[in-house]
Chain A
Amino acid sequence: MQNRNLALDNCVKCSDCNAACPVLKVYPAFAGPKGLGPDMERFRREGVESDSQWLEYCMGCHRCDLACPHAVNVSELISRGKAQHKKTCRVALRDHLLARPSLVGKLRSSTAALTNAVMNFGPSHQAMSSLLEITPQRRLPRYSGRPLRAGDGVDEGTRKAVFFPGCFLRDIAPEAGRRVIELLRLNGFAVEVAPDSCCGTPAAANGDAAEMMNCVRQNAVAMGPALDAGACIVTACTSCGYALKADYAHLPTNGALAASARKIAGNTYDLGELLVGLLDAGELRTDFRPMAKKLAYHAPCHLKSQGIGRPWLRLLRAVPGVEIEEMKADCCGMAGTYGFKNEKYQISLDIGRELFERIKEYQPDAVVTECGSCQMQIEHGTGLKALHPAEVFYAAYPNRH
C-alpha cells in the first residue's frame, strides 16, 4: 500500500494530467491539476503563502488521477488544498449551503411545492442568484414532495441490500429511486433504504472537509448494523458510489471509524455493477419484453473512476429492440454544484458542448446516464429528456408486480 502523503514524489511532470483535465481544455487561465496538485502541495506543506483561488475551479472529476501513469493522487491533493482555502463571505455562505444538499432537501421537502415555486419564481430566483452567486440561467432542482423514506424498502428476498440513494435519488428523483428498489426486488433482494444522509461529495467539492467527515461518521453508524448482518450497499448515483468506495477507504484515520468506513468501501456496489454480476452468473431475470428505443448513453466521470467498465451498456443491450451507443465525449461539465455557481456557469457549458453536439447528432429517443447532475446538464444543454438507466431497464420487465 503506497503512502498517500508521499505519492506526490512520484510526479515526473509529464503533464498527462493537464492533458486530461476538462476545465483546462476550455479555460486556459486555469492553473491545471499538475500545478494545483503535486506542484503547489509542496508550498502548502511548507506553509508558504500561495495563490489558492484556482483550487475552487477544480471539478473533482478525478480524470487526472486516472491519467497519471505514476499513481499520484492528484485530485486528493487538490481537495486537501481546497479545504484550507479562504473564501469571500458570500461565496462561503453559498458553498456552505451547497455542501449540504440533504439539509436543503429536508427543509424543502416539508413544503416542497411552495419552496420550489418560490425558488424558481423569476424575481425571487434573481434575488437569490445575486445574493448567493448562483447562476440565474439554470432552474434549481425541484425537490419532490414524496422523497424516498426508510418505509420504501421491501422485506421479501433471499439476499440483503442497503440502498444508499443519495440526495438526488432521495429528494429530487425519488421515482427513479423507487425503480432501483423494484429492480433489486425483482432480482431477489430484500432492500433497506439508508437513512437520510449525504455521501459527502458535495461537501468535499465545496472545500468542507469537516462536513465530509460528518457524513462518513453518520453513514458508518447508520449502515453498520446492516453490514454486520451480511447486507451489501447499493448505490445508483455514481458520485455516491465513488465516494463510498474510494473516499471512505482512506479519509478517516482514527481506528474505529476508519475500520467501519473501510467496511462500507469494501461492500459497496454500483447498481449496474451488481446487476451485470448477476447477468454473468446467469442469475438475472432476463424475461424482457421488446422495447424499440434509441438511447444515447453518457458515462459519468465518477463511473469511469470506479473502474467497473460500462455495466448499463451490457444490461440495456440485453433488452431486445434497444439500441444504445456511448457518446464518448468526456465530461458533461456539470460536476454537481459546480455548474450552478455564477462564475463557473460558462465553463460548465463550454465543457459540455462536445457532449451536447454528439447527442444532438445521434438523435436519440432519450439520453441515459447514472448521474443526476449529468442528467440536469444534458437536459439543460440539449433540451432532451435524460433518464437514469434503471428507469428504462425497469420498464423492460413484464408483469412487474
Chain B
Amino acid sequence: MRGDEFDVLVIGEGLSGITAAAAACRQGARVMLTSKGPGSFALGTACVDLDGLDCASVGLSKWGANQMEDAISFFLELTAAAGCAYEGGVHEHRLVPTIMGTFAEVSLAPRSLWKGDPRGVAEAVVVGIENVFAFDANFVAERLTLHSKTNDLASSYRAVAIKLPQIQNQHWLTPLDIASEVDKHSFYAQSLMAALKPVVQDADLLILPGVLGLNSADDCIRNLEDEIGCAICELPTLPPSVPGLRLLRRLESRLSAMGVEIRTGFSVQKLCMDGGRCTGAVLDTPGQARTVHADCVILASGKFSRLLEDHPGKERASAPGLRVSEELQPVSSAGAVLAENVFACGSVLGRFESRYGNAIAIVSGYEAGMLACQRGVHYAKP
C-alpha cells in the first residue's frame, strides 16, 4: 500500500476526530488523522454532559440509548488505556468545581475533576501557589463555600497559599511553567509534594490549579495522592490549561501507539470529489500540496470549517450545522447525499446547545468511525 493511501482519513483533531480515529482503528482500518491544530476541547474542562441530550435534535433520529452507551463505554476504555481516564457514565450526574468558584453538572469528567463533587467532601483546601497567576485560591474558596451553602451542601472550603522554589529567578509564573518544571525535574515534583503535605491536615480534598505536569499519566497523580494522603482535584485554568494539554497529548500518543498515522499542522485545502465519492483530501503542505487518498473520509473539522462551503448542503453561518443523513453523510438541502463515503461528526453538525458539544463529539465521532469501517469495504476501490 502506498504511503499516503488509507482506509479512513479523519480531518480534525478535536474530541470527535480523535474518537472517530480510535474507533475506526480498533475495527482494523488503516487510519490517518490530519488537522490544522488541536480542537478546542483541550482549552476547556473537557467534561461531558449527557443529561437531557436529545440526539434527534441534531438530526440523528436513528440514535437510541444503545448507541450512546456503546460510544461512552468506548470512550471510557480509550481514555483509561491512554492513562488519562474519565469517570462517569450515561446515567451519572456529578457536580464539579470550576476556577470561577461555581459547580458544573456533568455526566463524565477526567478522573481528577470527578473527585471534586462536593457531595463527597466535608472539608476541602483550595491551594494557591505564590506568584502563579491565573488562579486565585481565595476567590475560588469563597465562591465555592457560597455555592455550597446555596445548594444546601455540607462541604466547606478554605484557601491556603504554598510557596514553590523559584524557576530561573522568574517573579511571575504560569501554570504551564510549573507543569514543565514538574516534567523535567524530579526535585521540583518533590518540592511540590513537600509543600502540599502540611496543608492537608483534616481535609479530604485538595483543589489545585492544573500544574501536575504535561506528560503525567494517572498513575503519577495517584502516587502523589498516596504520598500526601489526600485526594486531588486539579482545575483547568485559563488557556493553555495543563490538564487539557495533557489529555490531548496522552490521547495523541495512544492513537499513535494503536497505529494511527497523525499528521497535524496543515490545513486541508479541499476534498477530492469524483462523482458521488470522495477520494481523499489535499493538504496544504509547503512547496507542493499533498493528496492523501482514502476509501472513506470523516469530517470532524469543527464549527468553522469551510470544507463543504461550496456544496449546497452547507447552510450559512446564521443557520450553523451541516445537514446529514441518518448515516451521518452530508446531504444537500434537497436531501441528496453529497458523497456516500463522507461521514461528518462533532461540532461541524452544529445544531445543538453548546453544553452538549463534547457529548455530541464523542457519540457522533464513535458512530462515524464505526460507519466508515462498516462501509469501508463497500467504498474501497475495486
- A interface list, Cβ under 8 A from B: 13-16, 18-19, 24-29, 65-71, 242, 244-246, 249, 265-266, 268, 276, 279-280, 304-309, 311, 314, 353-354
Given contact pairs A15-B239, A28-B173, A67-B38, A265 touches B287 in the complex (Cβ within 8 A) = yes
B222 at interface, CB cutoff 8 A: no
Is A242's CB under 8 angstroms from B286's CB? yes
In the complex, residue of chain B having the shortest beta-carbon distance to the beta carbon of A243: B286
B380 at interface, CB cutoff 8 A: no
Is A29's CB under 8 angstroms from B240's CB? no
**Considering the chains assembled together, what is the distance between the CA atoms of A349 and B264 in angstroms?**
27
Given contact pairs A27-B168, A69-B38, A307 touches B176 in the complex (Cβ within 8 A) = no
Q: Which residues of B contact A26 (CB under 8 A)?
A: 180, 184
**Considering the chains assembled together, what is the distance between the CA atoms of A341 and B241 in angstroms?**
33
**Considering the chains assembled together, what is the distance between the CA atoms of A13 and B40 in angstroms?**
12
**Considering the chains assembled together, what is the distance between the CA atoms of A82 and B52 in angstroms?**
53
Given contact pairs A306-B285, A307-B263, A276 touches B37 in the complex (Cβ within 8 A) = no
B83 at interface, CB cutoff 8 A: no
Q: Which residues of B contact A68 (CB under 8 A)?
A: 36-37
Candidates B184, B240, B265; contact of A18 at CB < 8 Å: B240
- B interface list, Cβ under 8 A from A: 2-4, 35-40, 42-43, 167-168, 170, 173-174, 176-177, 180, 184, 214, 239-240, 245, 261, 263-267, 283, 285-288, 290
Q: Which residues of B contact A29 (CB under 8 A)?
A: 168, 170
**Considering the chains assembled together, what is the distance between the CA atoms of A306 and B286 in angstroms?**
6
Most-contacted residue by chain A among B3, B4, B267 (CB, 10 A): B3
Is B37's CB under 8 angstroms from A353's CB? no
B166 to chain A, nearest CB (A): 10
Q: Other than A69-B36, A309-B261, give 11 A-B pairs with Cβ distance below 8 A.
A: A19-B245, A28-B174, A66-B37, A69-B38, A69-B39, A70-B37, A244-B287, A246-B286, A249-B287, A307-B290, A309-B263
Is B287's CB under 8 angstroms from A71's CB? no
Is A66's CB under 8 angstroms from B265's CB? yes
Most-contacted residue by chain A among B35, B264, B283, B287 (CB, 10 A): B287
Q: Which residues of B contact A266 (CB under 8 A)?
A: 287-288
Is B180's CB under 8 angstroms from A307's CB? no
Candidates B173, B176, B263; contact of A19 at CB < 8 Å: B176
Most-contacted residue by chain A among B173, B245, B283 (CB, 10 A): B245
In the complex, residue of chain B having the shortest beta-carbon distance to the beta carbon of A268: B287
**Considering the chains assembled together, what is the distance between the CA atoms of A305 and B266 in angstroms?**
9
Given contact pairs A26-B184, A29-B168, A67-B38, A309 touches B286 in the complex (Cβ within 8 A) = no
Is A28's CB under 8 angstroms from B184's CB? no
A-B pairs with lowest CB-CB distance, top 5? A69-B37, A66-B265, A245-B287, A307-B285, A246-B286
Q: Which residues of A contact B285 (CB under 8 A)?
A: 306-308
Most-contacted residue by chain B among A18, A24, A28 (CB, 10 A): A28
Q: Which residues of A contact B38 (CB under 8 A)?
A: 16, 67, 69
Given contact pairs A68-B36, A249-B287, A276 touches B265 in the complex (Cβ within 8 A) = no
Candidates B36, B39, B43; contact of A71 at CB < 8 Å: B36
**Considering the chains assembled together, what is the distance between the CA atoms of A16 and B176 in angstroms?**
11
In the complex, residue of chain B having the shortest beta-carbon distance to the beta carbon of A233: B287
B307 to chain A, nearest CB (A): 14
**Considering the chains assembled together, what is the distance between the CA atoms of A195 and B164 in angstroms?**
56
Is A15's CB under 8 angstroms from B240's CB? yes
Is A14's CB under 8 angstroms from B43's CB? yes
Q: Which residues of B contact A15 (CB under 8 A)?
A: 239-240
Candidates B167, B266, B286; contact of A265 at CB < 8 Å: B286
**Considering the chains assembled together, what is the distance between the CA atoms of A233 and B170 in angstroms?**
47
Q: Which residues of B contact A307 (CB under 8 A)?
A: 263, 265-266, 283, 285-286, 290
**Considering the chains assembled together, what is the distance between the CA atoms of A265 and B289 in angstroms?**
11
17 contacts across the A-B interface (CB closer than 8 A): A19-B176, A19-B214, A24-B176, A28-B167, A28-B168, A28-B170, A29-B170, A67-B38, A69-B35, A69-B38, A242-B286, A246-B286, A265-B286, A265-B287, A266-B287, A307-B263, A309-B263
Q: Which residues of A contact B168 (CB under 8 A)?
A: 27-29
Q: Which residues of A contact B286 (CB under 8 A)?
A: 242, 245-246, 249, 265, 305-307
